[in-house]
Structure 1
Amino acid sequence: MNTLVVGASGATGRLLVEDLLKRGEKVTAIVRSTEKLSALLDNKNLTIVKASVLELSDDELAKHVHGCDAVASCLGHNLSFKGIYGPPRRLVTEAARKLCAAIVANKPEKPVKYVLMNTTGNRNRDLNEPISFAQKMVLVLLRLVLPPHVDNEQAADFLRTQIGQHHPTIEWTAVRPDGLTDEDSVSPCEIYPSPTRSALFNPGKVSRINVARFMAELITDNNTWNQWKGQMPVIYSREPENI
């Protein structure tokens, strides 16, 4: 299986690349710098494309997507003033649009999986996911002051409404982690169709390595994919008392 990963040099993206390579999968990573992937560069199954995904032409992107069974986006905004408020403000959304257009342009014989790393702070509007009035007010404020939050919402909405559930060449899943942490190894986790707690007032936690493992399983395991395709699963690391 061949997978294209964007955001591959990020904290979760590089763990996803590593997990896929350990499974013997072929990976193409689009990165602006290879520094954070230096430990993986000798792997014969890894192809590096040094570029910004939004700066690639449509033809170039279609070439890189050609032959891929899956595309995974771990893109996010740097937590700096420039990263939050500077261009591109719709990095995740525009990348999704360009990558999906590249998939369609290639006319694949079978649907390509698109796995988006999203956030539990974003609601799945295909479901009745009730939130408190206080959380609604905070989300209104976040949309006004934090462009990355709007970007995450619009990226998932693009998949929900523009790609939808019956696209001939693209199937998708938007993974919503809560409270990302850094751990050295995979641990038991729980996955739900919707949040089981408030992302703002009672957040859970999940390690980046657990998120990477779940995304890798979506890509490589058809049973996992068929369970969650067209959905926005929420992932939590299991709390110690529940293990």
Structure 2
Amino acid sequence: MTTLVVGASGATGRLLVAQLLDRGQRVRAIVRSPDRLPEALTNNNNLTVIRASVLELSDAEMAQHVSGCDAVASCLGHNLNVRGIFGHPRRLVTEATRRLCDAIKANRPEKPSKFVLMNTAGNRNRDLEEPISSLQRLVMGLIRLVLPPQTDNEAAVEYLRTQIGHHDPAIEWVVVRPDSLTNQDQVTAYELHPSPTRSAIFNPGSTSRINVGHFMADLITDDDTWNKWKGQMPVIYDKAQQAGAELPKGAARGG
């Protein structure tokens, strides 16, 4: 199996790449700065590094990089600085999602390709009646006005939900929604829910990046996990650790 990963040099993307390589998968990684990838990854023969900015690739180049891939994963996001939040491209996640999906369709795969998009628990699944308080609705409206990345994340999901939909012959998708991201060295037990179980604004949970990478790798490599969540937007929270707590499937591989 071969997976194309965009945003592979980011804090979560490189962990996803490591998880996939650890499972013996072939990975193509599109990165602007290959030197940001750890040497342990770049020395792996199953990794092909493509030095490029994903939005600067031509349609033909994008289709070439997607060709032969069983899955595409996006860990793209905006850097948390003034330039990353307010600079261009403001629709990085949305445009990359659209162009990658167009590239998948251009190759006319014999079976649907998997598309996994990392997003945020602050984004609602509008296929479901996810409850939200009036106060949170007001705050989210203000966030959309002042923080362009929130609008970008929402638009990327809406593209998958409404333009690709649930019955596209070329693409099946899952949107992974972590809450407040943390850095951990090892995969730990985590919980998956169809919708948030707490407020991302007023009572956020925590999700380690390595757990996000682990779950995304499970979606890509395990058909049972994929079939359970395809067309959905699972929310992932770290589970409070207890003595003897069971780790998620494959956790011994991670980290």
State the match for 1:67 in structure 2: 68
1:241 CA drift (Å) = 5.7
Distance across 2 between alignment mates of 1:109 and 1:12? 30
Distance across 2 between alignment mates of 1:158 and 1:142? 20
Contact 1:14–1:36 (CA under 8 A) maintained in structure 2: no
> What number of residue pairs does the alignment pair up?
243
Distance across 1 between alignment mates of 2:84 and 2:204? 24
Mapped pair 1:187 → 2:188? yes
- Quick one: which amino acid aligns to residue 140 of structure 1? G
Written as runs of structure 1 = structure 2, the 5 A alignment for 1:24-173 is 24-39=24-39, 40-173=41-174
Task: Describe the superposition over 1:99-129 as per-residue Cα deviations: whole angstroms up to 9, x where unpaired.
Answer: 0000000000000000000000000000000
RMSD: 0.9
Contact 2:125–2:195 (CA under 8 A) maintained in structure 1: yes
Contact 1:190–1:235 (CA under 8 A) maintained in structure 2: yes
Written as runs of structure 1 = structure 2, the 5 A alignment for 1:186-205 is 186-205=187-206
Distance across 2 between alignment mates of 1:241 and 1:142? 36
Distance across 1 between alignment mates of 2:214 and 2:35? 22
State the match for 1:10 in structure 2: 10
State, as a whole percentage, how many aligned pairs show the same letter: 67
Query: TM-score, with normalisation over the residues of structure 1?
Result: 0.99
Distance across 2 between alignment mates of 1:235 and 1:64? 29
Contact 1:11–1:208 (CA under 8 A) maintained in structure 2: yes
Runs of 4+ in 1 over 2 A off after TM superposition: 240-243
Q: What are the ranges of 5 or more consecutive residues in structure 2 without an aligned counterpart? A: 246-255
Distance across 2 between alignment mates of 1:162 and 1:114? 14
1:37 CA drift (Å) = 1.1
- Quick one: which amino acid aligns to residue 224 of structure 1? T
Q: What are the ranges of 5 or more consecutive residues in structure 1 without an aligned counterpart? A: none
Distance across 2 between alignment mates of 1:6 and 1:209? 16
2:200 is paired with a residue whose SS is: coil
1:66 CA drift (Å) = 0.1
2:48 is paired with a residue whose SS is: strand
Mapped pair 1:19 → 2:19? yes
1:133 CA drift (Å) = 0.6
Distance across 2 between alignment mates of 1:221 and 1:22? 14
State the match for 2:219 in structure 1: 218
